[in-house]
Amino acid sequence: MSVRHSGIGMTSQRTRLRMVERLRTQGITDEVILSVMGSIPRHLFVEEALASRAYEDVSLPINYGQTISSPWTVARMSELLRANEPLGKVLEIGTGCGYQTAVLAQIAEKVYSIERIGPLLTRTRIRLQELHVRNIHLRHADGLHGFTETAPFDGIIMTAVSAHIPPLLLEQLKVGGRMVFPKGTLKQNLCMIQRSEAGYSETILEEVNFVPLLSGVVKK
């Protein structure tokens, strides 16, 4: 990804490096993920009025009732998905503002990302084009159905919470692949499912907070 945008003050490279150092102290150890997140101008993915808060460890609203996940959440989910190994094809459920998509694009050969809210996806598509993120395919659709024609995937990441994972998504996970997602109702936890020849195994991890996974599409 070629990034031509640069900022000053709270949006500077120095600010991004401070974010990376904080992520290290919070337990993120994958240097590839840390380097990628240090290179992406996160402030361009939030509303201009919130740009000064872009590198704080908080989620922020991005309109349409959606949020951009905190830097730690993005780093942690990316680290779990990569598992210190190169990724081929990755499926992302919930494109949102595109920040997680941009991170995935630098750690995977190809990213297929689905967003149900049409106007949000339109804005995100333009943003990612301006940042020259090329190895992605964005689709306006119901993420619960996945991306059957390009399955199976080495990794699947879901950026909205659900009490249950749709079986159709699990079927699209490659044997040897990993799926990272938030799970729960009142209490949410980050979870990882690994698929082997014997079936699926699930690991429950840290407590998190995400918007709910919804079905259907929003056109306007």
Using an 8 Å Cβ cutoff, are 104 and 92 in contact? yes
pLDDT digits (tens, 9 = 90+) for 48-92: 889 889 999 999 999 888 899 999 999 999 999 999 999 999 999
Cα 212 → chain centroid: 15
Give domain limits for the chain. Answer: 9-208
Give me the percent of the chain exceeding a pLDDT of 90: 78
pLDDT at residue 11 in the model: 58
Beta bridge partners of 28: none
- CATH architecture of residue range(s) 9-208: 3-Layer(aba) Sandwich (3.40)
Model confidence at 9: pLDDT above 90:
no
Helix (H, G, I), strand (E, B) or coil at 49: helix
Q: Terminus-to-terminus CA distance in the chain, angstroms?
A: 30
Using an 8 Å Cβ cutoff, are 55 and 71 in contact? yes
DSSP string, 184-209: ESSSEEEEEEEEETTEEEEEEEEEE-
- pLDDT category at 219 given cuts 50, 70, 90 is confident
Q: What is the sign of the dihedral through the CA atoms of 87, 89, 94 and 97?
A: positive
Is the full-model pTM beyond 0.95? no
Length of the chain: 220
pLDDT at residue 63 in the model: 83
Identify whether 69 is a catalytic site residue.
yes
- Alpha carbon distance 92, 119 (integer Å): 18
Given 59, 69, 78, 162, which residue is catalytic? Answer: 69
- Alpha carbon distance 178, 200 (integer Å): 10
The three-point CA angle 102-29-173 to 5° equals 55
Helix (H, G, I), strand (E, B) or coil at 47: coil
| Residues 6+ away with beta carbon under 8 Å from 186 | none
Helix (H, G, I), strand (E, B) or coil at 29: coil
Mean pLDDT of the chain: 92
